[in-house]
Structure 1
Amino acid sequence: MDTTTIVIVLAAIVTISIVVIVLSQMREKARIERARKVTAQEDAYNRAQRLLSEIPGQYLTADLKLLLIKRMEEACSKLAALKANLPVKKWQESTLQIKNQILEKQDSRPPVKIDSPEKSSYVKELLQNLFKMIEGMHKSGRIDAGTAKKNLKYVLFLVHKTHADLHVFQARDYVRQNQIRKAIHAYHLASTEMGKSRDNPLAMKAVKSFRTRIKELEALSNEGQDTASAESQSKLDREWDTFLHDDEWKKKADYDD
């Protein structure tokens, strides 16, 4: 074999080796990218499912539920296209079942009492994650600007209500302990929180109710009446428990304004 032939053979071997290495690297990159996409969509599904199951039932409107369902459906579709080794079919069936229940107004979720700073902080974290999810859906073009604005404004209102819920719970406890001045202060804090959503008629209704309650308690404090009398006049406390289920006020609320 002459020198030229040897050189050609060696060059061919080197070229083939380089091609094999490049193809191997491309396959590995494709595998890693696919795994990354699968993980991202699995995380997206789990986050939306967690928000749907853990945000207090009284906070979730049908619109918010359907946005979460939409995110879960999108994640499942992408996972199916990626042929992920996950129970995607089962997830899709479960998601469709919940969606039908929501559309048929048969999806009832239990309310959660916000009775500790820890619980208030946890619910706030869930709502902030929901806010980010809606923002992401808007930025990626999966929902329009009107839908995003309406729901983002409502979620922000819920964050304020979470803090107000805690203050109302504390106020009730102070009333039971006959610590009326502390109860008045707690209602002031609740009013301040709801006042942050001035463009929401539900929030303004709450502020008005808190002011009425504060006047009631101030009168009781000045007259030296006891706890039983204070509790008997607490119409606000009874209304607050069903605040987000007040259909008449919901009909009046226009979050697009």
Structure 2
Amino acid sequence: MTVIIVSVLLLVIGGFIAFAIYLQFKEQARLEKLRKIVALKNQLRQIRRYLDDIPPQYQPKDMRLWLFSRLLTHYDELIKLQPDATLSRRRKLTAEEMSELQTSKQKRRAKPINDELMVMDLKRLFDSFQLCIKQAEKEKTLDTEVVARYSNLLQFYKYKAKADLHAYIARQSFLSGNYEKAIASYKEALTQLAPIKGTAEAKTASKQLTSLINEVEEAQSGGGNDNGASSHAEQDSADSELTQEWDKFIDETEFKKKKHF
């Protein structure tokens, strides 16, 4: 009788222990699922910020398409863990955005870099984006060659953003007739590119800045020959020419290369 009682007690105790272990594993699985959901939502927010807050001139089309593809992948993973009508709707809208970008021939308009705080925020975004690219490389979801190209571009953009700020100041100075400040600001923009002057991207940007400096110097020289009394028509012509040079400067520093996913 005693043996039977002891056996029953052991079975009961063993059952409780097994049940406790089961509950523990179940809780761990629940917490792991929640952790993945939170991580995916954070990644979705961060990638959306890259798409929305990084100006078009710093987002080559293939890079932007890759970001959209990352969004769709994360939406799929999140919907699998947490089925939700809102998430499904957002995924559909994201897919439509990506499809529209793929078929669009229209170039997105460059955003002026006109504030020091904007430059600081962009540098933080570029650093964060760099980590995102490294994570994609670790997960083997992005080709090594593309990782290297995107990393080099982001490194270039960190310097170019500050150069663009000085170029913007220079252009505004030119349009207001302050040629000396315009020249000084363009030269400062060149200085900002000095640490990466050996790269092909920096060489292209520097060439454009040098061209703009020459334009301003020619305008300054022309104004001096007229004793500071240039006509309104001549000023409009100079402004238009410099505006075209500025647009060319922005356009030629965008990079259109083969898409990699």
Residues 212 and 246 of structure 2 are in contact (CA less than 8 Å); yes or no, is this contact kept in structure 1?
no
Residue identity matched to 1:92: R
Structure 1 residue 155: Cα displacement: 2.2
Q: Which residue of 1 aligns with 2:57?
A: 58
Could you tell me how far apart the structure 2 residues matched to 1:92 and 1:227 are?
Answer: 60
Structure 1 residue 130: Cα displacement: 2.1
Deviations 1:41-63 (A, max 9, x none): 12212211221122112322111
Could you tell me how far apart the structure 2 residues matched to 1:209 and 1:85 are?
Answer: 50
Could you tell me how far apart the structure 1 residues matched to 2:87 and 2:189 are?
Answer: 43
Could you tell me how far apart the structure 2 residues matched to 1:204 and 1:134 are?
Answer: 25
Could you tell me how far apart the structure 1 residues matched to 2:17 and 2:49 are?
Answer: 47
| Residue 190 (1) aligns with residue 196 (2) | no
Q: Which residue of 1 aligns with 2:208?
A: 209
Pick the aligned partner of 1:245 from 248, 251, 256: 251
Residues 173 and 182 of structure 2 are in contact (CA less than 8 Å); yes or no, is this contact kept in structure 1?
yes
What TM-score, normalized to structure 1? Answer: 0.81
| Residue 74 (1) aligns with residue 73 (2) | yes
Could you tell me how far apart the structure 1 residues matched to 2:105 and 2:175 are?
Answer: 37
Q: Which residue of 1 aligns with 2:27?
A: 28
Count of residues in correspondence between the two structures: 251
Deviations 1:38-94 (A, max 9, x none): 111122122112211221123221111111012112102211322344633212211
Classify 1:177/1:144 alpha carbon distance in 2 versus 1 (closer, same or farther; 3 Å): same
CA RMSD in angstroms comes to: 3.3
Could you tell me how far apart the structure 1 residues matched to 2:28 and 2:196 are?
Answer: 48
Residues 57 and 110 of structure 2 are in contact (CA less than 8 Å); yes or no, is this contact kept in structure 1?
yes
Classify 1:131/1:231 alpha carbon distance in 2 versus 1 (closer, same or farther; 3 Å): farther
Could you tell me how far apart the structure 2 residues matched to 1:18 and 1:98 are?
Answer: 53
Structure 1 residue 23: Cα displacement: 0.7
Task: Give 3-state SS (helix, strand or coil) of 1:114's partner.
Answer: coil
Residues 156 and 201 of structure 2 are in contact (CA less than 8 Å); yes or no, is this contact kept in structure 1?
no
Residue identity matched to 1:162: A
| Residue 105 (1) aligns with residue 111 (2) | no
Residue identity matched to 1:60: Q
Give 5+ residue unaligned stretches, structure 2: none
Residues 204 and 252 of structure 2 are in contact (CA less than 8 Å); yes or no, is this contact kept in structure 1?
no
Q: Which is further off, 161-170 or 231-240?
A: 231-240
Structure 1 residue 209: Cα displacement: 3.5
Q: Which is further off, 5-14 or 115-124?
A: 5-14
Give 5+ residue unaligned stretches, structure 1: none
Could you tell me how far apart the structure 2 residues matched to 1:142 and 1:77 are?
Answer: 15
Matches within 5 A, 1:159-174: 159-174=158-173
Classify 1:103/1:164 alpha carbon distance in 2 versus 1 (closer, same or farther; 3 Å): same
